Amino acid sequence: MSLYASSVTLRTVPGGHQTCLVSAGIGSCPNVMANGLMLAGTSSKTGVRLCICLSIHSFNFYFVLFCFRVAGEAHVFGTMLVAYGYIYPLQNHKKLVMSNDTSLYRFQVKPPFTLCVLLFSAIYLAKRNIRKKGMLEPYEQVHYNHLHEWLNHKWDFIVMQATEQYKAGKERKKADRVVFDCQERAYWIVNRPPHFVHTVVQYAGLRNPDIEALWPPLVLLLCLCRLVKYITTYKNHDAFLAPCLPSNPWQTDNDSYWTLNMRRVDVPTKMRVERWSFSLFELLSDLRGRDDFKIFLKKEFSGENLAFWEAAEELKWGTASSMSTKAETIFKTFLAPGAPRWINIDGRTMGLTVKGLEHPHRYVLEAAQTHVFLLMKKDTFFRYLKSPVYKDIQKKARNPEPHNFRLFNSNLSKPAGAKFSEPRCGHSSNHPLAAGGGGESKGCCCLCSSRCQGHDEQNRQEEVKSNTVALDIMRHIKYQHK
Amino acid sequence: MSRWRRSVDELTARRQQAECERAQEALSRVTSCFQQLTASLGSSADCSFLRDEINQTRVLAHRICSGLSRRLVRLLADGDSSVSGVEDRRLSERLWVVFLSALENFLFDLHKARDLIEQFPLTQRSDRRSLVSTGCIDGMVGVAARVALVQVPWLTLEEEPSPDLTNHIAELEAMLSEMQQRVSVAFWSVEATQPAWAEARGEPEELDGSLEDLMEVEVASSSKKKMAACCQLPCCGLGCIG
Q: Quick: pLDDT tens for A415-466.
A: 444 444 444 444 444 544 444 444 444 444 444 444 455 556 766 777 777 7
Contact residues, chain A, for B35 at CB < 8 Å: 2, 165, 168
More confident position, A44 or A130: A130
Q: Domain span at residue B19? A: 3-125+139-190
**Which pTM does this prediction carry?**
0.53
A13 and B CB contact within 8 Å: yes
CATH number 3.40.50.300 is the correct assignment for the domain at A249-396: no
More confident position, B94 or A112: B94
Least confident of A54-58, A273-277, B206-210: A54-58
Inter-chain CB proximity A32 and B133 less than 8 Å: yes
Inter-chain CB proximity B222 and A8 less than 8 Å: no
**Confidence (pLDDT) at A314:** 92
Read off φ and ψ for residue A236, nearest 5 degrees: -80, -5
B38 inside domain: yes
A181 and B CB contact within 8 Å: yes
Handedness of CA A334, A339, A344, A350 (dihedral sign): positive
* pLDDT band with cut points at 50, 70 and 90 for residue A401: confident
Inter-chain CB proximity B187 and A8 less than 8 Å: no
B37 inside domain: yes
**Confidence (pLDDT) at A310:** 93
Q: Is the bond into A209 cis (omega within 30 degrees of 0)?
A: no
The alpha carbon of residue A220 is apart from the nearest alpha carbon of chain B, in Å, by: 24
Q: Give the total number of structural domains in chain B.
A: 1
B132 inside domain: no
B174 inside domain: yes
* Residues 385 through 414 of chain A touching chain B, CB cutoff 8 Å: none
B51 inside domain: yes
Read off φ and ψ for residue A70, nearest 5 degrees: -85, 135
Instruction: Name the residue in chain A with its Cα closest to that of B203.
Output: A130
Contact residues, chain B, for A120 at CB < 8 Å: 105
Contact residues, chain A, for B105 at CB < 8 Å: 116, 119-120, 123, 161
Residues of chain A with CATH 1.10.167.10: 249-396
Instruction: Name the residue in chain B with its Cα closest to that of A147.
Output: B196
Inter-chain CB proximity B199 and A159 less than 8 Å: yes
Inter-chain CB proximity A161 and B102 less than 8 Å: yes
Q: Find, among B68, B58, B71, the residue nearest to B31 by Cα.
A: B58
Q: What is the pLDDT of residues A408-424, one digit of tens each?
A: 544 444 444 444 444 44
Q: B201-235 burial by CB neighbour count: b if 16+ within 10 A, else e?
A: eeeeeeebeebeebbeebbeebbeebbebbeebee
**Confidence (pLDDT) at B152:** 76
Instruction: Name the residue in chain A with its Cα closest to that of B30.
Output: A164
DSSP string covering A284-315: HHSHHHHHHHHHHHHHHT--HHHHHHHHHHHH
Predicted-complex ipTM score: 0.82
The parts of chain B modelled with pLDDT lower than 50 are 220-242
**Confidence (pLDDT) at B108:** 92
B221 inside domain: no
Inter-chain CB proximity A112 and B112 less than 8 Å: yes
* Residue-averaged pLDDT of chain A: 72
B167 inside domain: yes
CB-nearest partner of A178 from B28, B193, B214: B214
B133 inside domain: no
Look up the CATH number of the domain holding residue B78.
1.20.58
Angle CA A173–A179–A183, to nearest 5: 140
* pLDDT band with cut points at 50, 70 and 90 for residue A165: very high
